[in-house]
Amino acid sequence: MTILEIIKTKPINNKTISENINFGELCKKNSLDIDYDIIINNCIFEEDFIAPYFFNKKFLIKNCIFNKKFVLYGGIFYDKVIIENSIFIGYNSFGAGISFMDKVLFNNNVFSEFLDINDAEFKKKLNFSNNILKKGTNLLGNLGKAYEITFNKTPTIENNIGDLKMNILP
């Protein structure tokens, strides 16, 4: 049984996962919708974690380590997204047309590489606090550009270490 088959029925806790995670396996036939809570605690991911789909339930990641890519792109998150107390060692992207329809919390994380949040849309409250961004992020760096990040509610952005205003595109 793959980790994605397990996550359909219960949270994933205290595991080292050495397989690529591609959420396409959770989708209904002929659909990009994922109708399961994604709850992952205290895990180490040795391979890529990629999720370009429509998540209808909550998406919770706490106390995890991602050694390779962590990419959420081009999808819609309809419920809360909480990513806390985690370490991201490889490439990170939370953008490319992604929409967050409910509250989003990024708290107490460490990003070793550049955190790309290019043209994401936050419909409700974003809390981005106490993160360490070793190579920065474009969270506030694309303002006024065609690909800027959209905040429909005033975000809470505080106590972060690293450059929040980088712009990697012209």
Structure confidence by residue, pLDDT tens digits, 41-91: 999 888 877 766 677 888 899 999 999 888 877 778 899 999 999 999 988
Residue 32 pLDDT grade (very low, low, confident, very high; cuts 50, 70, 90): low
pLDDT tens by residue, 147-158: 788 899 999 999
C-alpha distances in Å from residue 102, one per residue of 60, 66, 85, 86, 90: 13, 24, 20, 21, 27
Report which of 150, 108, 104, 110 is spatially closest to residue 126, judged by C-alpha positions.
Answer: 104
Report which of 111, 164, 109, 113 is spatially closest to residue 141, judged by C-alpha positions.
Answer: 164
Cα Dmax for the chain: 47
Structure tokens at 72: 């959420």
* Of 33-42, 86-95, 131-140, minimum mean pLDDT range: 33-42
